[in-house]
């Protein structure tokens, strides 16, 4: 997890932007961009992370659910520090966009369930904000492409479709 903030303001009083990059990319390639964004507005805390199995991150994803859980874990890291869900923005590009979209849905469903258990209207459940940039047709297609490469996935698509 890479974090940058230009002031010492308590994190609970900031808006948090969490960046998730695409397949074949890593947050290390974007540190300068994150620093510029944090400097532009001192009320923002900017973070980037790698999904498990990317560069120096540990572990290996057995399915897309593992990557979705990675994004959920980063959100919950900030929420545990007192940042309300409504002040957290997930910004994902390509594969990262698909994964943070599913992570946002998972968090919202969990919050709806908690609201129901408290006897509240589930529509009042908090959700994170979301930006999905240049995602793709389906997560399955992206996983097949990332495993088999361009030629292998094209051959498989020709057989299946």
What is the pLDDT, as a whole number, of residue 10? 82
Give the Cα separation of 43 and 15 in Å (integer). Answer: 6
pTM of the model: 0.80
Dist CA 18 CA 74 (whole Å) = 8
Dihedral sign from CA coordinates of 79, 39, 57, 94? positive
Measured distance CA(4)–CA(18) in Å, rounded: 11
With a CB cutoff of 8 Å and minimum separation 6, the contacts of 25 are 93, 94, 96
Write down the pLDDT at residue 154: 47
Mean pLDDT in residue range 118-130 = 94
Task: Give the rounded percent of residues in the chain with a pLDDT score beyond 70.
Answer: 84
Q: What is the mean pLDDT of residues 111-123?
A: 95
Q: Rounded CA gap, 149 and 139, in Å?
A: 15
Greater model confidence, 114 or 57? 114
Q: How does pLDDT run across 58-113, given as a tens digit for each residue?
A: 788 888 899 999 999 999 999 999 999 999 999 999 889 989 999 999 999 999 99
């Amino acid at each position: 997890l890479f974090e940058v903030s230009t002031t010492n303001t308590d994190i609970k009083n900031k808006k948090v932007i969490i960046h998730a990059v695409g397949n074949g990319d890593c947050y290390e390639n974007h540190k300068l961009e994150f620093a510029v964004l944090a400097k532009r507005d001192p009320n923002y805390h900017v973070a980037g992370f790698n999904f498990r199995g990317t560069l120096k991150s540990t572990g290996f994803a057995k399915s897309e659910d593992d990557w979705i859980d990675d994004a959920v874990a980063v959100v919950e890291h900030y929420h545990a520090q007192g940042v309300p869900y409504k002040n957290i923005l997930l910004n994902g590009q390509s594969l990262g966009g698909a994964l943070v979209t599913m992570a946002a849905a998972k968090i919202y469903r969990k919050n709806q369930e908690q609201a129901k258990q408290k006897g509240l209207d589930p529509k009042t459940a908090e959700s994170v904000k979301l930006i999905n940039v240049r995602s793709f047709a389906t997560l399955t297609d992206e996983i097949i492409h990332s495993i088999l490469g361009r030629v292998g996935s094209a051959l498989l698509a020709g057989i299946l479709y």
